[in-house]
Amino acid sequence: MCRAGAMRATPGAIWTRAGRDSAGRRSFTALAVLGLTACGPPMAALDPAGPQAERIAGLTYLMAALGVAVYVVVIGFLLYAAAHGSRRAVSAEGPATEHRLRVWVAGSVGLTVGVLLALLVLNFSTGRALGRFADTDAITIRVVGQQWWWEVEYMDPAPSRRLITANEIRVPVGRRIRLLTQSRDVIHSFWAPNVHGKIDVIPGYGATTYFQVDEPGVYYGRCAEFCGHQHAHMGFVLIAQPPEEFEAWYRGQLLPAPSPADSLAQLGQEVFLSRGCVMCHSVRGTPAGSRVGPDLTHLSSRRTLAAGTLPNSRGHLTAWILDPQTIKPGVLMPPNQLEPDELRALLAYLEGLR
Ligand code: CUA
């Protein structure tokens, strides 16, 4: 069944639902009943966490209110006509009735055009307002959509502060973010409804969008354009943190992967570098440098595996390494045949990538 509601995960528990104040939740739920929200994971367009999403939510409420008003008026006339129409039609014919009919038809056509024009103007002005959030001081993040995950690159002007990660975007609250979106294969759509609308991610056509998150929290986003077999498993996590927490995280992510802590992890690193893993993944500080799959330098600091498909736990990681095709059929990652002690060592190594 469709789960709808104001959902915001608290840090540390992205699968938990956490609400807003009860009044906001009530009004949101009322609209959810009208089918105005997306179903599924914790993400809600009508629970804005930044100025851009607020504009979009405002437009949604206005359009919904106008739609409801039109509906009520039409149903009112329908009921009136059902109750009185046939009697009038029989009792009053002639030029007076014809004139009145003309006035009514012209009036309703005028009203319809007026409502449509109002919607057009509202839509246009919201689009213009969203375009005015451009900011030269913004943090630039490039997100590259591909089947079926997101590469995330922090494009710091200082080359030593450039950072690549995957499927998890962290931002400081209150800072403007310049989001550059690109695709490596087919058309995707980047959608983090709590912060902005859907952004088409089209091959060969980069787009720039600005957003800002004002409320710290863990938000959820996903691909919103059908892009193949695993379109439904192309999610990401968006974490907004106080600036100092973000900076601490960022500095940690800039470091190369920690050296294996013990002999088991050391063996795991050898497995990683001698088996299929190294062909597709990067771990900074080791010879693994491919960008076919997600960068794993700080894998165990992330909340999810396989682009928001699984929580990042030992059990899920084991299942994913051994047989990704069962979890996400069609994904590029092949199954891995490992001896039990190789698998244990590889898990120890990957879990040490903090
Ligand atoms: Cu990518 Cu749907």
pLDDT digits (tens, 9 = 90+) for 242-270: 999 999 999 999 999 999 999 999 999 99
Query: In angstroms, what is the span from residue 203 Cα to ligand 1's centroid?
Result: 12
Strands 199-201 and 163-166: unpaired
pLDDT at 132: 84
- Write the CA distances from 213 to 47, 51, 106, 209, 323, integer angstroms: 12, 8, 47, 13, 37
Instruction: Please give the pLDDT value at position 89.
Output: 57
Q: From the alpha carbon of 225, which atom of ligand 1 is closest?
A: 2
Tell me how far apart the alpha carbons of residues 72 and 78 are, in angstroms, rounded to a whole number. Answer: 10
Distance, CA of 312 to CA of 300 (rounded, Å): 7
Q: What distance in angstroms lies between residue 326's CA and the mean position of ligand 1's atoms?
A: 19
Residue closest via CA to ligand 1's atom 1 equals 188
Q: How far is the CA of 197 from the centre of ligand 1 (A)?
A: 15
Which pTM was predicted? Answer: 0.81
Return the ligand 1 atom nearest residue 232 CA. 2
What separation in Å is there between the alpha carbon of 232 and the centre of ligand 1? Answer: 7
Atom of ligand 1 at shortest range from CA of 188 = 1
Residue 81's pLDDT is 86
State the distance from the centre of ligand 1 to the C-alpha of 146, rounded, in angstroms.
Answer: 8
Quickly count: other Cβ atoms within 10 Å of residue 157's Cβ: 7
> Which DSSP string do the residues of 250-283 spell out, in sequence order?
HHHHHSPPPPPSSHHHHHHHHHHHHSTHHHH-B-
Q: Which atom of ligand 1 is nearest to the CA of 147?
A: 1
Query: For residue 148, which atom of ligand 1 is closest to its CA?
Result: 1
Ligand 1 atom with the shortest distance to the CA of 227 = 2
- For 106, residues 6+ apart whose C-beta sits below 8 A from its C-beta are none
Give me ligand 1 centre to Cα 122, in Å: 29
Q: How many CB atoms lie within 10 A of CB 210?
A: 19
The DSSP element (H or E) to which 35 belongs, if any, is none
| pLDDT value, residue 26 | 45
Q: What is the pLDDT of residue 42?
A: 58
Ligand 1 lining (C-beta closer than 6 Å): 145, 148, 188, 223, 225-227, 231, 234
Q: What is the pLDDT of residue 93?
A: 65
Low-confidence stretches of the chain (pLDDT < 50) are: 1-26, 28-41
Classify residue 317 by burial, with Cβ atoms within 10 Å: 0-12, 13-18, 19+: buried
Residue 148 CA to ligand 1 centre (angstroms) = 7
Give distance in angstroms: CA of 221 to centre of ligand 1. Answer: 11
For 231, the token pair is 């379109």
